[in-house]
A and B are shown apart, each in its own frame.
Chain A
Amino acid sequence: MRKFIAKPVAIAIVVFARAITAVRAIWPAEGVFTGQCVYFANHSSHGDFILVWAVLPPRLRSRVRPVAGAEYWLKSAISRFIGRDVFDAVLIERDRDTRTGDPIEIMSSAIDAGSSLILFPEGTRNQTDQLLQPFKSGLFHLASARPNISLVPVWINNLNRVMPKGEIVPIPLICTVTFGQPMQLASGEAKEAFLERARSALLELSPNTRGENA
Chain B
Amino acid sequence: MSGVDSDLGKLVCGILAVLVVASIVGYILQRRFSPDGSNASIENLNARIKAWWVMAVLIGVAFLAGRVGVLVLFGFCSFAALREFITLTHTRRADHWALAAAFFVVLPMQYYLLWLHQYGIFSIFIPVYSFLLMPIISVLRGDTEGFLDRIAEVQWALMICVFCASHVPALLTLSIPGYEGRNVLLIAFLIIIVQLSDVLQYVWGKLFGKTKIAPRLSPSKTVEGFVGGVASATLIGAGLWWITPFTPVQAGLLALVITMMGFFGGLVMSAIKRDRGVKDWGNLIEGHGGLIDRLDSVVFSAPIFFHVVRYWWSVT
Residues of A bordering B, CB below 8 Å: 22, 24, 158, 161, 164, 167, 169, 171-174, 212-214
Q: What's the count of A-B pairs with C-beta under 8 Å?
A: 44
* Cβ-defined partner of A22 (8 Å) among B99, B100, B278, B282: B282
Say yes or no: B86 contacts A213, CB within 8 Å.
no
Say yes or no: B93 contacts A174, CB within 8 Å.
no
Q: Which chain B residues border A164 with CB–CB below 8 Å?
A: 93, 96
Q: Which of B29-37, B76-84, B166-174, B216-224 lies at the binding interface?
A: B76-84
CA distance A43 to B283 in the complex (A): 24
Assuming the A-B contacts A213-B277, A213-B278, A214-B276, are A171 and B99 also in contact, with contact meaning beta carbons closer than 8 angstroms in the complex? yes
Assuming the A-B contacts A22-B282, A164-B93, A214-B276, are A171 and B88 also in contact, with contact meaning beta carbons closer than 8 angstroms in the complex? no
* Cβ-defined partner of B83 (8 Å) among A24, A167, A169, A174: A174
Say yes or no: B96 contacts A167, CB within 8 Å.
yes
Residues of B bordering A, CB below 8 Å: 79-80, 82-84, 86-88, 91, 93, 96-97, 99-100, 103-104, 276-278, 282-284, 286
CA distance A212 to B88 in the complex (A): 11
CA distance A172 to B86 in the complex (A): 8
A-B contacts besides A161-B91, A171-B86, 14 pairs, CB < 8 Å: A22-B80, A22-B284, A24-B283, A24-B286, A164-B93, A169-B100, A171-B96, A171-B99, A171-B103, A172-B83, A172-B86, A212-B277, A213-B88, A214-B88
Q: Which chain B residues border A174 with CB–CB below 8 Å?
A: 83-84, 87, 282-283
Q: How far is the CB of A152 from chain B (nearest CB, A)?
A: 22
Nearest residue in A to B277 (C-beta to C-beta)? A213
Nearest residue in B to A167 (C-beta to C-beta)? B96
Assuming the A-B contacts A171-B96, A172-B79, A172-B103, are A214 and B87 also in contact, with contact meaning beta carbons closer than 8 angstroms in the complex? yes
Q: How far is the CB of A128 from chain B (nearest CB, A)?
A: 13
CA distance A22 to B86 in the complex (A): 13
Q: How far is the CB of A83 from chain B (nearest CB, A)?
A: 26
CA distance A22 to B76 in the complex (A): 13
Q: How far is the CB of B205 from chain A (nearest CB, A)?
A: 28
Q: How far is the CB of B274 from chain A (nearest CB, A)?
A: 11
CA distance A174 to B282 in the complex (A): 8
Nearest residue in A to B95 (C-beta to C-beta)? A171
CA distance A131 to B271 in the complex (A): 28
Q: How far is the CB of A177 from chain B (nearest CB, A)?
A: 13
Assuming the A-B contacts A164-B93, A214-B88, are A173 and B83 also in contact, with contact meaning beta carbons closer than 8 angstroms in the complex? yes
Say yes or no: A213 contacts B282, CB within 8 Å.
no
Q: How far is the CB of B13 from chain A (nearest CB, A)?
A: 34
CA distance A169 to B137 in the complex (A): 15
Q: How far is the CB of B286 from chain A (nearest CB, A)?
A: 8
Nearest residue in B to A164 (C-beta to C-beta)? B93
Q: How far is the CB of A53 from chain B (nearest CB, A)?
A: 20
